[in-house]
Amino acid sequence: MRLAALFVAVLAVLGCAIADNAVDRTTMEVRGSQLWISGEINSRTPANFEAVIAGNPQITVVVQGVMPGSLDDQAVLRMGYFLRDRRLNTHLTAQSEIYSGAVDLFLAGVRRTAQNGAVIGVHSWADGFGEGSSYPKDAAEHQANAQYTRDMLGSDAFYWFTLQAAPSDGIHEMTRGELARFGVLTQP
């Protein structure tokens, strides 16, 4: 009986994960040379993001609004490398709130700017076996994210900071001093 209940629970969780990725949870709006994006990144988002940018070669800046993070880390890395390869900039307005994977997307901007009032929130990741901060530094689980951070910022120090800043079920809103220390912004 317990095995059957466990099986049903696993199917329910998998069903939720599939449903969460069934529809792109972001909104994208082109405003002249800017692409405004809000919402949660999932496995459907990269293809839509790439299509909007490819169809609008005038875009030079991705403006992030309220973005709670991502359901798919690989989707964020794909979007980030795509954004950087096109030499686009990222910007946060005073009303922007970006968290978790949305911060990783922000890092991809060649020029990264934020108005006063913007919120940048970070935390560790978890994979069902433990917190990212609990894995040894040389663990394979860190490789892709540490490399991405090095590629975007020239150092992986920011990645290691995020693992210690808050647990996966918490959030740490970065201070101006922290943003400067890790080079998150290229200009205030």
What's the confidence (pLDDT) of residue 187?
84
Class of residue 50 by CB neighbours under 10 A (exposed 0-12, middle 13-18, buried 19+): middle
pLDDT in tens, 109-156: 999 999 999 999 999 999 889 999 999 999 999 999 999 999 999 999
pLDDT in tens, 28-44: 999 999 999 999 999 99
What's the confidence (pLDDT) of residue 12?
45
Q: Where are the domains of the chain?
A: 24-182
Which amino acid is residue 113, in one-letter code? T
Give the global pTM.
Answer: 0.88
Question: How far apart are the C-alpha atoms of 101 and 74, rounded to whole Å?
Answer: 10
What's the confidence (pLDDT) of residue 186?
96
Q: Are strands 112-114 and 119-122 parallel, antiparallel or unpaired?
A: unpaired
Domain 24-182 grouped into CATH 3.90.226.10? yes
